[in-house]
Chains A and B, each alone.
Chain A
Amino acid sequence: MTPTLLLAPPPNPDMETINPRVQFLWIGRAVVVAAVLGAIAAAVDRFALSIGSVAVGTLLLVVALAGTVHAVLRFRRWRFEIQDDALYLVRGVITQVDTSVPYVRVQHTDTQRGPIERLVGLSSVVVYTAGTRGADIRIPGLRPQRATELREQLRELAAESEGADAV
């Protein structure tokens, strides 16, 4: 596997990026996952099979490191664009996903701010469609006023292009 496969350049440099602070959020999440896994491994080491504290430490470190790299790469890939008739999103590290959400299909839009997101001063916009697979599409890592702005913009675009039956 060549590194370029993971570091594939974003398709269009003009597309909007998300806020870099979102990396802290994702790295934090990876560290929590690593800590939980480490705790489980430590418990197994203590009470069942002896794995060795070195192995437990390595596991913790590897998971945290992998999570950090993933978070950075994920941030670098994340792009979105308000196009003529659809919202276009490009994201994903291991599996890259490109999604088009036509405005005609937007049922409603939300801005969401979880407690940890608030801590970093970020917000997400969630776009809902009637689809079964891509039913809710989240744009993370937005500054709160950009999130509100985007939500309003999407709402207007959806209203303008409204068809007879969104289903």
Chain B
Amino acid sequence: MKRLHPISAVGNVLNRALSIGAFGFFAGMILSGPLDLVPVVATFVLAPLGALIGAAYGVARYYRFTYELSEGRLSVDSGVFDRQEREIPLSRIQNVDIERGPLQRVLGLAVVKFETAGGSATEATLNAVTVDEARDLQSAVARYRQREPEAEPTEAAPDSDESDRPATAGDDTETATERTIERQIEQPTERRLYELSTADLLTLALVSFRPAAPAVVLFSVPFAQEYALRLLSESVATLGGPATVSLELLPTYSTPELLLVGIVAVAQFVLAAWLLSAAFTITEYYGFQIDYVGDDLRYRRGLIQEYSGSIPLEKIQTVTVRENVLMRQFGYAALAVETAGYAPGSGSQDASNTAIPLDDRETVLALAEALTDAETPEMEALPKRSRRRYAVRYSLVALAITAVLGIADWVTVPIPGSESVAVSIPFWYAPLALLPVAVVAGHLTWTHRGFAVLDHLFATRSGVLVQATRFVPYYRVQTVIDTRNVFQRRLSLASVTADTASTASLLGGDATAYDVDDATARELHETLRSRLMADLRARERGDRGHALAAYIDERADSPPDETSAKRQPDDPGSRAETGEDSPFEE
């Protein structure tokens, strides 16, 4: 069993000592001060005592935390009072992520996180190990997966005498296992799949909006009040407004002056939020790249905090291409790769699970095609009566608002014990002007929805403001769900959802073909079911796509002739032996 890096222990010990020491200090202060239960001296006893206990706890934690990667398992033992022994089969690990904060980068450390399907929290976090160890762990998991199909028998046979031994023999078994792996796989292929260019990073920074940015600006205003006010006064003065701006002077301004100050203040706020948002985006996505290593996608990004991680191709559930209105206008798109573990590449501060945050449409679609082994689909349009349905639905919303306002205008509210109050709402019928908008919105909803049934893939599209095109490989379908509500049945329409284990659908990202013809829906339901079974059987025979190999070859500028497109030319031996477990190879 291995321990974490000692430096992490130092950090942990200091942290605990400080927090429990501080607790002791404040407890002493309160007990001696307002409560007057103990003399003041107690504070000077309690604080160091707390620090000592904290430090001891930190040390104990460090010594209790051990991990080991062997025999196809990651074992983690932890906890001082509440002891926990956790074993994660390597074949169940969905992603391995490596995070490095600024301090950790200086010290050459890294935090490693292992994600499995099921459960919202990270299954195992190693905080922290050396960078080399982190990389080793990552590639060990990847290597294990490559030989996974025959893993159980080969592992059991030569190591059977060793695997019976107690845990002290752990290191031996590990090296033995690794030797077996080395023999099978010589060197994993490593190719650059994607790189975010500086121009694209800047574009992304300018167009992406982060809700955190205005919040930060708002909270920092009180701290930078003087500076903010000076900036405001100077800009207002140059625009011909009052010479100085302050809260006390506000009542003395004339209306146009007040208006000017207001507009300038809002503009400056928006500008500050925008710049901050851009800065956040740049630090987050700086140096974003995706490599193809062995059978994993490896991503890396981050300026200050560095994130990197591996997504096994084998574990990809769905791929989503997203385009918002602005991006569509300028031919940009974003790509998200989703596994059952979580959506990799998204920091906790960013809920949008982005794999490629932004690039031109062609690049994004080419990578999506390579990852899913499918052509970009021609979407089938919905029946015309669906459009009518949307128009009616949105019109009803407008009518409902009008009705509510109208009734509020009309009724008098009886209040017991006093006079009735009549509310008068001027222009309560104004929402009726939304009716034409509702019709247009209905049309847009209709044109933006669609679905496609491809060879190995079900694709759906929906969303007007943010259009999402989802690619679901048939063999990833979990359940097929048709829904028909009363209104849909009236028009003989139905919605068909292909449910997957992808975490993206937790955020409302179901792959659903909305409002298709009833007969089409039944056919689609059957198709999804039968294709799921057919593709699962095909995969058991080892019949998988090879689009990614072709894509890599194309990027490497080698002429994509038939041999190179179908076979990786540089390591034919190892591929032939072990390549069968990648979905995207021959």
Closest beta carbon of chain B to A104's beta carbon, Å: 6
Closest beta carbon of chain B to A42's beta carbon, Å: 16
Residue in A95, A97, A101, A167 whose CB lies within 8 Å of B501: A167
Closest to B148 in A: A164
Contact present for A105 and B478 (CB under 8 Å): yes
**A163 in contact (CB, < 8 A):** yes
**A129 in contact (CB, < 8 A):** yes
Enumerate chain B residues within 8 angstroms of A130, measured Cβ to Cβ: 117-118, 340, 478, 501
Enumerate chain B residues within 8 angstroms of A133, measured Cβ to Cβ: 479, 481, 497, 499, 505, 510
| B 483-510 binary contact with A (CB < 8 Å = 1; else 0) | 1111001100000010111110110001
Label chain B's interface by main secondary structure.
Answer: mixed
Enumerate chain A residues within 8 angstroms of B18, measured Cβ to Cβ: none
How many residue pairs link A and B with beta carbons under 8 A? The number is 99
Contact-residue size bin, chain A (C-beta under 8 Å from the other chain): 20 to 34
Enumerate chain B residues within 8 angstroms of A65, measured Cβ to Cβ: none
| A 25-54 binary contact with B (CB < 8 Å = 1; else 0) | 000000000000000000000000110000
Given contacts A85-B529, A102-B533, A104-B533, contact A131 B501 (CB under 8 A): yes
Contact-residue size bin, chain B (C-beta under 8 Å from the other chain): 35 or more
Enumerate chain A residues within 8 angstroms of B528, measured Cβ to Cβ: 100
Which residues of A149-167 have CB atoms within 8 Å of chain B's CB atoms?
163-165, 167
Closest beta carbon of chain A to B343's beta carbon, Å: 12
Given contacts A131-B500, A133-B505, A134-B481, contact A167 B340 (CB under 8 A): yes
**A119 in contact (CB, < 8 A):** no
Q: A167 CA to B341 CA in the complex, in Å?
A: 10
Which residues of B310-338 have CB atoms within 8 Å of chain A's CB atoms?
314-315
Which residues of B530-546 have CB atoms within 8 Å of chain A's CB atoms?
532-533, 536, 540
Given contacts A132-B503, A132-B506, A163-B536, contact A102 B482 (CB under 8 A): no
Which residues of B457-486 have CB atoms within 8 Å of chain A's CB atoms?
477-486
Contact present for B484 and A95 (CB under 8 Å): yes
Enumerate chain B residues within 8 angstroms of A92, measured Cβ to Cβ: 483
**B414 in contact (CB, < 8 A):** yes
Q: A94 CA to B529 CA in the complex, in Å?
A: 25
**A19 in contact (CB, < 8 A):** no
Enumerate chain A residues within 8 angstroms of B502, measured Cβ to Cβ: 132
Contact present for A95 and B525 (CB under 8 Å): no
Q: A163 CA to B540 CA in the complex, in Å?
A: 8
Contact present for A131 and B499 (CB under 8 Å): yes
Closest to B502 in A: A132
Contact present for A131 and B486 (CB under 8 Å): no
Closest beta carbon of chain A to B176's beta carbon, Å: 25
Closest beta carbon of chain B to A95's beta carbon, Å: 4
**Most chain A beta carbons < 10 A, residue from B94, B479, B481, B506:** B479
Q: List 13 A-B contacts (CB under 8 A).
A: A49-B414, A94-B486, A95-B486, A96-B489, A97-B482, A99-B480, A100-B525, A130-B501, A131-B479, A133-B481, A133-B497, A163-B536, A167-B315
Using a CB–CB distance below 8 Å, which chain B residues touch chain A? 91, 94, 117-118, 149, 314-315, 340, 414, 416, 477-486, 489-490, 497, 499-503, 505-506, 510, 525, 528-529, 532-533, 536, 540
Using a CB–CB distance below 8 Å, which chain A residues touch chain B? 1, 5-6, 8, 49-50, 85-86, 92, 94-102, 104-105, 129-134, 137, 163-165, 167
